[in-house]
Chain A
Amino acid sequence: MLFIRVCLLTLASLTMFNVNASPVETYVFKDDVSQKRYQSLVKELRCPKCQNQNLADSNSQIAVDLRQEVYEMVELGKADSEIVNFMVERYGEFVLYRPKVSSLTYVLWFGPVVFLLIGVVIVIVMLRRKPKAQEKQELSTEQQDKLNQILKDK
């Protein structure tokens, strides 16, 4: 009995003092869709201050304010693209973790494909060359005689 009580207490304390590092705001959404949209938006938007965190992760004041902005816009029923544009207009393309396809980001978007193609070409060229390299090397009569001699000696 005592054991169970101790267990329960430990469990209770674990849940009570559960330290959560991510900042928590208690936003109330009008429906589940809004909440999901908000959550995906703050994950995709980058915090301008702490540059390697998204809005959802960051504790900085500007992230708090921007989460508030995103929340208000989601509740107003604005489209995702409108909210993203709002951010880009103020903070630049930098805030997008998924940058738009433009002449500036072609390398970023198509670089991997180009490298893959280069790799495929190299592999094909090497595979085609291989039979050539494996051509049988004939022994000259002199060498053959020498070989026969060695084998005989054994």
Chain B
Amino acid sequence: MSKLIRFLPLVLFIALGVVLYRGLFLNPQAMPSAMIGKKLPAFSLTPVKDANVTFTEKDLKGDIVLLNVWGTWCPSCRFEHPYLLDLAKSNRFSLYGLNYDDERELAQEWLDKLGDPYVFSAFDDTGKLTVNLGVFAAPETFVIDHNGIIRKRYAGPIDARIWQKEFEPLIATIEAEKRKGT
């Protein structure tokens, strides 16, 4: 018994080592969204390109909706922009934008110069919808299914690899669910 106790510190040390070693590979920035499984919050915002009309959550039409949070102040948004233009060509989903904490002229210039992948981009300079969505930075992309339920929140820029890994399987799942009629 006493001989076994002598090894107790070693065992504890190894256990601690394993825990801390695993911690090295965790991403402290990765946070699950509290919005998964909830409905898209109600909003009433003007689109970037026209200050005179108002859109609400009912205007996000499409079986599968991607909502991309962006801003001209966000370098990663610029990085993912070309890929969003590619995505916009697909007819499996509709891509909408949510312009966060920006200036309208700058946002318009961005869309004119770099191309506009969005059906429309809601202009949220006070961050109302952004806060309601639990967004904490840009870019973030939400996947909303045919029932209007938020299925996924991805924080960070999207490229082809991320799309294949993070989005493609979920889009396929939602399509299958839709065919089944759930």
User: Within the assembled complex, what's the spacing in Å between the Cα atoms of A69 and B41?
Assistant: 16
Is residue B53 contacting chain A, with contact meaning CB distance below 8 A?
A: no
Whether the pair A48, B136 counts as a contact (CB closer than 8 A) is yes
Hey, what's the 0/1 contact readout for A52-82 against B, CB within 8 Å counting as 1? Answer: 0000000011100110110000000000000
Whether the pair A90, B101 counts as a contact (CB closer than 8 A) is no
Q: Among the listed A48, A61, A65, A90, which residue makes an inter-chain contact with B35, where contact means beta carbons less than 8 Å apart?
A: A90
- Measured CB to CB, the closest approach of chain B to A71, in angstroms, equals 13
Is residue A109 contacting chain B, with contact meaning CB distance below 8 A?
A: no
Whether the pair A94, B127 counts as a contact (CB closer than 8 A) is no
Size band of the interface chain A makes with B:
10 to 19
Task: Select from chain B the residue with minimum beta-carbon distance to A63.
Answer: B136
- Asked whether A65 and B34 contact (CB < 8 A) given A49-B136, A49-B137, A51-B28, the answer is no
Which residues of chain A in 14-70 are interfacial with respect to chain B, using CB atoms and an 8 Å cutoff? 48-49, 51, 60-62, 65-66, 68-69
Tell me if B's interface is mostly helix, strand, loop or mixed.
Answer: loop
User: Within the assembled complex, what's the spacing in Å between the Cα atoms of A60 and B136?
Assistant: 9
**B interface residues, tally (CB under 8 Å):** 19
- Measured CB to CB, the closest approach of chain B to A2, in angstroms, equals 50
Residues of B within 8 A of A51 (CB): 28-29
Residues of B within 8 A of A60 (CB): 137
26 contacts between A and B (CB under 8 A): A48-B31, A48-B134, A51-B28, A60-B137, A61-B101, A62-B130, A62-B135, A62-B136, A62-B137, A65-B101, A65-B127, A65-B130, A65-B131, A68-B126, A68-B127, A69-B131, A90-B132, A90-B133, A90-B134, A91-B31, A91-B34, A91-B134, A91-B136, A92-B32, A92-B34, A94-B31
Known: A62-B135, A92-B134. 5 other contacts (CB 8 A): A62-B131, A65-B127, A90-B34, A91-B134, A92-B34
